Amino acid sequence: MHCYIQELQMKSSNSIGCGKELCVTTTNWTMNEVPYTSYGYTYSEDRFERPIKTAYKITLHGKSYRNNKGQVTKKQHHVTTIKYYDLVDFSWYDCVVNSKIDDIAEEMGIDYDLVWEEIAKKLDALQDKINAEFEQTEEYKVKETHDAILREYRVKKHDFAEMYEVRENEYDHCYDIFGKLRNKEYFEKIKRDYKARKEYEEQSRSYQRDYQSNYSYYSGSYGTGSLNSGLSTEKEKEYYKKFYRTLATKYHPDVSGDGEAMKFLNKLKESWGI
């Protein structure tokens, strides 16, 4: 079994080159009577020409045999035909139908993996050759520049979303693909909203800390005497004495029958310092 590549010439290249420029687009809309603007991108209508008209017919040839005329020939199996620029825009793997390789391998009585190995050996070399040629063109250099801009744009969107804790598309309401600030007012709103959220979160944490501190303060005072901290004036002690007398009268074991309540009250008395 052998894989053969036959060059063909088409009437046209049948392929459109990439746009020569990367352009900013602006989209305006209104939601709930609030106007919005978003900045996207597109490629210019002025595109690179692709003059090469070559295509490649890929066939697999099996064992030799004699036809009905007594001539020695080989059984041929057409795998696919790939255009030159298909190998620029895609991988050759995308141009081959797996099920067709299955059928050819079965018909030839050859292991599926061996068929793929033979095809890959030839098409990998062909693709490397074409890619090397295309990398010398102006179209490739411009496309690389565009791709670098778009990669940086996606990184900035991601970082923006993480910094201000918003969806990534919020970046597109403020900046274009080149990182130019287009809508300062909307950006200031995002910053204000972020600051307000952080202040609210800090207030919530502060409230929670105060709540826990107060809870610990009062719940821990029963056996530690912490309630007396900062409350030691004579007037306050008089209040404590009145509280104690009132509660002792109500919760004395002879009255309430609850000895635990009186023990607890005596702990309070000690913590109050009276």
Per-residue pLDDT, 105: 87
Identify the residue whose tokens are 């009250």.
265
Contacts 24+ apart (CB under 8 A), 23-32: 24/176, 24/177, 24/178
pLDDT tens, position by position, 6-46:
999 999 888 899 999 999 999 999 989 889 999 999 999 99
Would you state the structure tokens that stand for residue 171, as one six-digit string? Answer: 């970046």
Task: Confirm if 244 and 272 have CB atoms less than 8 A apart.
Answer: yes
Residues pairing with 76 in the sheet:
61
Cα dihedral 131→132→138→144 (10° resolution): 60
d(CA 161, CA 190): 10
The pLDDT of residue 66 is above 60: no
Q: At 214, is the pLDDT very low, low, confident or very high (cuts 50, 70, 90)?
A: low
DSSP state of 173: G
